[in-house]
Structure 1
Amino acid sequence: MAISSGFGFSCRPNLHFCHCFRKVRFGSVADVIDEPDTFFKGYSNRNFDSVSSFNDGGFDDGNKAPVWKRFTSKELGITNGLIPRPTRLVLEGLKRKGYKVYLVGGCVRDLILKQKPKDFDVLTSAELKEVARTFSQCLTVGRRFPICHVTVDGTIVEVSSFSTSVRSGRAVRFDVERPLGYEKEDYIRWRNCLERDFTINSLMLDPYAKIVYDYLGGVEDIRRAKVQTVKPSNISLSEDSARILRGIRIASRLGFGFTRETALGVINLSFSVLRLDKGRLLMEVNYMLAYGSAESSLRLLWKYGLLDILLPFQAAHFVRSGFRRRDKRSNMLLCLFSHMDKFLAPDMPCHSSLWVAILAFHKALSDEPREPAVVAAYSLTVYFGGDMSEALKIAREISRPHDADFNELLEPCTLDHEELKEEVLHFDMAVRRALSEMTDEYHVSKAMSGFPKAPKSDLVFISLQLYLRVCKIFECVKEGKQVNIVAKQGSNIDNELLTLGSLEEVRHVFARVVFDTVYPISTSLQ
């Protein structure tokens, strides 16, 4: 079995992307921007217009920049009390030494949206070496774009410097106009904003002057719920293909859409994510699936053709089941992740082993549908840490109706104790086989073989360590209850343990997600 261990190739920047990928063949993807809501078999032969021909995102009308704006914190509903103590201490420490300090990026966006930021990033006029001298617990990380990690009260606060981009050569390489009569400080801030990925992430908050600086129309894009790149999307997404996945993550979490130009850039350059290191890919996918917006992330990955590249087994399932690119309906896979999302939040994520386990579980069920009682008994066995006798007893007593809309579930029939036990063991073998295929390059490369125009890739980004952790979740079904393993008691979820990947906590949430999907309360009430 081949497990992810690195990509093993490099790309020369002047070559076309397609020349750099091994065992990858790309077909065109349907235009999800303007297409009528009709399903097409496999993939469309239509090609997109070049993203450079569109001018409704990034910098409009002859590369003219948006009007520079300032908002008071009060206008946007931001108070300094929303800034956590570790971040405030970092801001104050630098401010006392006479340096300018700002909050930047997604935290400003989230504060405007009245959402709790996942983290707070600080930008300062101080050199990084001055930051290191100011704080005793400070570590400079990153070679290409170095930043400081300042640890305060066990929390890491990221601090970047205005001067870093100048030395690292991140100069703006496209022409934009700026207002006449600008001040030097505005110019410095504006230049830094041009290095950001999306306009909604380009805002700067001065917590002492209580002013939000908006040089690129970020506030307006927040108001109209749009994600658009700072630079033209064909430039921005080519420079850093991780922005494609980051854009999907932001849009899914916030419920935003893409501007037309940015959407076209995402589709046209979707294959470029294969240039990313496999560890980076796993990190980005985990950000999408483990932080409370997995269902919407899967929908957007499918809509923009990225699911076909990153999770081809799941993409193949969508195609087989007639699920359109812009489909508003749901299915069992999306329902599983919707129920998982209910237990998570940006500041309360799960361990990546949980969503990988759910993907493997659903693949096994999709490959060979099972009776609801078998699925219930299996998930309960996982929950009880291998106590199958108790799981079988409870499963046979379930009177709540299952969700009959799922093709993965067969019509119920009466099974005695031994028959149910045998079916559970067979299903366990199928789940473990599904997990093995998801982490095997050969099987991944064949996932979309039934659809000739679909992109083909043998990409496996699930690491060996993660594969083994998921195996541990399911091994209790075959091996039986272990003496030193105690099933979790009660219904409360310990989010800290879930984030760390506690076996008992992950098994508990996995079983609840499966049970709530197969036997939804709404169906019972009907």
Structure 2
Amino acid sequence: MAETIRRIRFNRVAAGSKLQVRIISSKVSKSAEHIGAINMSKWKKLDARCFGITPSMIPWHALSVLNALRHAGFDAYLVGGCVRDLLLKRIPKDFDVITSADLQKVKKQFHPRRAHIVGKKFPICIVQIKGSVVEVSSFRIAEVKNADHGEKIHLPPCPRSCSGKDFTLWRDSVRRDFTVNSLFLDPFTHTIYDYNNGMEDLKSLTLRTIIPAKSSFEEDSARILRGLRIAARLGLGIAEETEDAICSLSSSIKCLRQERIMMEMNYMLSYGAAEPSFFLLWRFKLLEILLPLQAIYLDQTDEGPSSCSSSMLMKLFSNMDKLVSCDRPSHSTLWIGLLAFHHALVCCPQDAQVVQAFASILHFGWRKGIEFVRTKANYGVPYVPEISESSPEYEMTELEMRVGDLASLVKKSVISLSNSKSLNEAMSRYPLNSSPGLVFVSKKATRDVQGIFHVLVEQSLDAGHDPKINMKLRREVGPLLGRIILETMSDGAVVGMETLEMERGEHAEIMMDKQGDGVALFDAAAARVHHRPKNLYGRARDVSRKRTFQRMQERQDKDQELHESWRRENEASERPKSPKMQRTIPINRGQDKVQELHNSWRRENEASERLTERPKPPKMQRTIPRNR
């Protein structure tokens, strides 16, 4: 018996930049093995160099943690998303380490101020090295929940033909969420350990849970959000069993803590994949729980396959994705501000000129923003229902007043994301959609977002000098918000200012980096030249992958220099020190000259005293004849 696996993949059409859903069918065996059975035929050990992975691609702070643990006699590996991203030729968001050492022993390997243990259910050790953070976890107890019977079962003992190290790695891998995240990498032996067909799923771009999907999501419902984030960022398809489990257990995310939901949502929206993430949340009915107001908006604008991607909300997130990436994420206030801005327009539609002025002032400031609106603004796409019908040009005073009113509406809209009462009041406008939603945005984030729009409410350049306002955050996020809105209103066209064009050029490389899907990773040509990474650039089929490698290589060269300096310092400190030669300095060194000066000064004083004691002879008065 076999069943069909449906995979949802997003294809971005170059002309319209629209999201499309493509259903891809493949066959897989229906007889899934029990979690307690060990199938060693799936176990693989691969040479990382055959996929272009070398130790130089790993940053210095991660290598230093691995080195310290190995020198102490423990096994240590890179694990999870960093291995997956290296295989897909992407820059990893972070590097996680797993070790055979106990976390307390891990902590002892580093300075107490640089390492601390956090977490109760799944504790980890956070190690800080020169501004970088490495998360170190220990191999877990092999105990898996049986969701069908509600009891715990122990994994079978290690087979005779299996080594203890392999059994330990397999036992940890089955406790992870998805097959593509269960890969281990030993950078010193250039070995990739795969115990769950993770490489096959990575090659076919399929997202699949390791244990049955329902059991996995019942064990940790946050895996639902994490899975959608991975699928959106990497363009993975979702296996049918995993998709069905997401649909049936979507309401379980209500049990998550507010901080956990905020963290997962920030990972989704701040790392360059906000548009596809938002689409997946809406498709699987999770947006109704997390952001019900935005879910109602997308439901009302859903008139066809391309209507969702052409809506103003999705355009805003699409333009935000152009400015951020995994190695250059945005602050959470950026996407929170976009949600509040859009909701304010839905509640109270504005003229295109007012919206352009609002965005221009955020991006350029008051004087340049108003000048930009007067001379070079393009009122652009008439979004419905956010943009009202065009009206005659406003006078300067009236335009500033309307911009201030819009900023006040945006500040009020932020509250609906952090206050349950305000959310219920906003939901009362839609009596047919009475399902209560979650509130997960913190009050601090709400105040920070309101501070960004404070200057527009006060209509003054000096209005932001409020001690409660984060001025640094406002200067960083405000111009980005304005730029995203300007590009959305102009539908991506050139808006006319050289400053904006220069900034667009700075981020053009990021967009090129995001277009690759990593399929060329498994090319035979790349495997043949793994010992010459520079040749890999010329043979890559996609220019974006080449640029990603270049940026990664620059960072690795810098990390290598730091690593070499750190190694030299350690060697110098371990080298036995030779006894220092003490230089004897005579006590009277320099005293002879001082004594000579003192004697000459004494003789001069004595001579002057003798001269003063002698009686002076009377002065001879010279007589001058009068008739001379």
Aligned match for 2:402, one of 413, 419, 423: 423
RMSD of the TM alignment (CA)? 3.1
Select which of 192, 204, 212 maps to 1:224: 204
Cα separation, partners in 2 of 1:274 and 1:410, compared to 1, 3 Å: same
1:26 paired residue number: none
Return the letter of the residue paired with 2:381.
Answer: D
Q: Which runs of 5+ in 1 are unaligned?
A: 1-31, 36-54, 487-498
Q: Which deviates more from structure 2 when the two are superposed, residues 505-514 or residues 408-417?
A: 408-417
Instruction: Tell me the amino acid that sits aligned with residue 193 of structure 1.
Output: S
- The 1:180–1:334 alpha-carbon spacing in structure 2 relative to 1, beyond 3 Å, is farther
Q: Confirm or deny that 1:508 pairs with 2:508.
A: no
Question: Counterparts of 1:365-444 in structure 2 under 5 Å?
Answer: 365-384=345-364, 387=366, 390-404=368-382, 406-417=384-395, 418-444=397-423
Q: Give secondary structure in 1 for the equivalent of 2:477.
A: helix
Task: Flag the 1:373–1:87 CA change in 2: closer, same or farther, 3 A.
Answer: same
Task: Confirm or deny: 8 A CA contact 1:56 1:259 kept in the other structure.
Answer: no
User: SS of the residue aligned with 1:262?
Assistant: helix
Does 2:141 align with 1:165? yes
Q: What is the deviation of 1:407?
A: 3.9
Q: Which of 1 and 2 has higher RCO (CA within 8 Å, sep 6+)?
A: 1
Deviation at 1:439, TM superposition (A): 2.8
Moved more, 299-308 or 514-523: 514-523
User: For residues 151 and 191 of structure 1, what CA distance do their matches in structure 2 show?
Assistant: 28
Distance 1:59 1:218, change over 3 A: farther
* C-alpha distance in structure 1 between counterparts of 2:76 and 2:379, whole Å: 58
Contact 2:292-2:437 at 8 Å conserved across structures: no
The verdict on how the C-alpha distance between 1:97 and 1:171 changes in structure 2, with shifts beyond 3 A counting, is farther
Report sequence identity in percent.
36
For the residue of structure 2 that corresponds to 1:438, the secondary structure is: coil
When residues 357 and 249 of structure 1 are mapped into structure 2, their CA distance, relative to the original with a 3 A threshold, is same
Query: How far did residue 103 of structure 1 move?
Result: 0.5
Contact kept? 2:291, 2:437, Cα under 8 Å: no
Matched with 2:617 is none
2:83 aligned residue: 108
> Corresponding residue for 1:456?
435
1:153 to 2:130 alignment = yes
Instruction: Pick one of 104, 107, 110 that aligns with 1:129.
Output: 104
Q: Which residue of 2 aligns with 1:466?
A: 445
| CA distances 1:468-509 after superposition (whole Å, capped 9, x unpaired) | 1111011111113343869xxxxxxxxxxxx99621110010
Letter in 2 for 1:76: F
Secondary structure (helix, strand or coil) at the match of 1:140 reads strand
The answer for the alignment partner of 2:574 in structure 1 is none
For 1:254 and 1:147, the matched residues in 2 are separated by: 26
State the SS of the aligned residue for 1:91: helix
Letter in 2 for 1:363: H
Q: Which of 87, 102, 120 is the aligned partner of 1:143?
A: 120
CA distance in 2 between partners of 1:344 and 1:226 (Å): 25
Q: 1:80 aligns with which of 44, 55, 65?
A: 55
For residues 64-79 of structure 1, what are the structure 2 equivalents within 5 Å? 67-79=42-54
Task: For residue 285 of structure 2, give the secondary structure of its aligned residue in structure 1.
Answer: coil
Counterpart AA for 1:86:
H
Tell me if structure 1 keeps the 8 A contact 2:178–2:210.
Answer: yes
Does the aligned pair in 2 maintain the 1:351–1:500 contact within 8 Å? no
Q: Which amino acid letter does the alignment assign opposite residue 104 of structure 1?
A: V
CA contact (8 A) 1:308 1:454 kept: no
Q: Map 1:287-366 onto structure 2 (within 5 A).
A: 287-322=267-302, 329-366=309-346
Give CA-to-partner distance per residue, 1:298-341, whole Å, 9 cap, x none.
01100111111101110010111125699664211011111111
Say which one has the larger Rg: 2
Distance change in 2, residues 1:399/1:361 (3 Å):
closer
Name the CA distance, whole Å, in 2 between partners of 1:351 and 1:437.
Answer: 20
Q: Is 1:517 aligned to residue 496 of structure 2?
A: no
Counterparts of 2:276 and 2:117, CA distance in 1: 35
Question: What's the CA shift for 1:294?
Answer: 0.7
Q: Mark the CA change 1:188 to 1:195 in structure 2 (over 3 Å): closer, same or farther.
A: same
User: What TM-score, normalized to structure 2?
Assistant: 0.67
Amino acid in structure 2 at the alignment position of 1:231: I
Q: CA deviation at 1:60?
A: 2.5
Query: Do the aligned partners of 1:374 and 1:424 also contact (CA within 8 Å) in 2?
Result: yes
8 Å CA contact 2:454–2:464 kept in 1: the answer is no
Cα pair 2:42 2:195 within 8 Å, conserved:
yes
Deviates more, 1:506-515 or 1:65-74: 65-74
**Residue by residue, what CA displacement relative to the aligned partner does 1:85-118 show, whole Å, maximum 9, x if unpaired?**
0011111111112211111010000010000111
Q: Secondary structure at the match of 1:144?
A: coil
Cα 1:485–1:367, aligned 2, differ >3 Å: closer, same or farther? closer
User: Which of 150, 158, 169 is 1:189 aligned to?
Assistant: 169
- Alignment of 1:91 with 2:66, yes or no, is yes
CA distance in 2, matches of 1:146, 1:34: 34
Specify the SS of the correspondent of 1:502: helix
Structure having the higher helix fraction is 2
Shift of 1:242: 0.7
Per-residue CA distance 1:105-135 (angstroms, 9 max, x = gap): 1000001000011111111112222212211
Q: Is the 8 A contact 2:309 2:315 kept in 1?
A: no
Structure 2 CA distance for aligned equivalents of residues 352 and 179 of structure 1: 48
Q: Which of residues 454, 460, 465 is equivalent to 1:481?
A: 460
| Post-superposition CA distance 1:215-238 (Å, at most 9, x none) | 001111111111111111111001
User: SS of 2:416's equivalent?
Assistant: helix
Aligned residue for 2:90, secondary structure, equals coil
Structure 2 vs 1, CA of residues 33 and 196 (structure 1 numbering), >3 Å: closer, same or farther?
same
Q: Corresponding residue for 1:257? A: 237
- Residue pair 1:442, 1:458 contacting (<8 A) in 2 also: no
Distance 1:269 1:370, change over 3 A: same
Q: Is the 8 A contact 2:144 2:155 kept in 1?
A: no
What is the CA–CA distance in structure 1 between the aligned matches of 2:262 and 2:29, rounded to whole Å? 29
Equivalenced residues, count: 458
Q: Which moved more, 1:416-425 or 1:352-361?
A: 416-425
* CA–CA separation in structure 1 for the residues paired with 2:90 and 2:425: 41
Measured in 2, the distance between the counterparts of 1:73 and 1:34 equals 28
Change (3 A) 1:159 1:58: farther
Q: CA deviation at 1:170?
A: 5.8
Structure 2 contact 416–426 (Cα < 8 Å) conserved: no
The structure-2 alpha-carbon separation of the partners of 1:330 and 1:523, relative to structure 1 and needing over 3 Å to count, comes to farther
Show the counterpart of 1:202: 182
How big is the shift at 1:431? 1.6
Unpaired segments ≥5 residues, structure 2: 9-26, 147-151, 497-628
The verdict on how the C-alpha distance between 1:457 and 1:325 changes in structure 2, with shifts beyond 3 A counting, is farther
> Partner of 1:24 in structure 2?
none
1:70 corresponds to which letter in structure 2?
A: K
Cα distance between partner residues in 2 of 1:69 and 1:93: 27
How far apart are 1:59 and its partner, in Å? 8.0
Q: Distance in 1 between matches of 2:404 and 2:463?
A: 22
Change (3 A) 1:500 1:132: farther
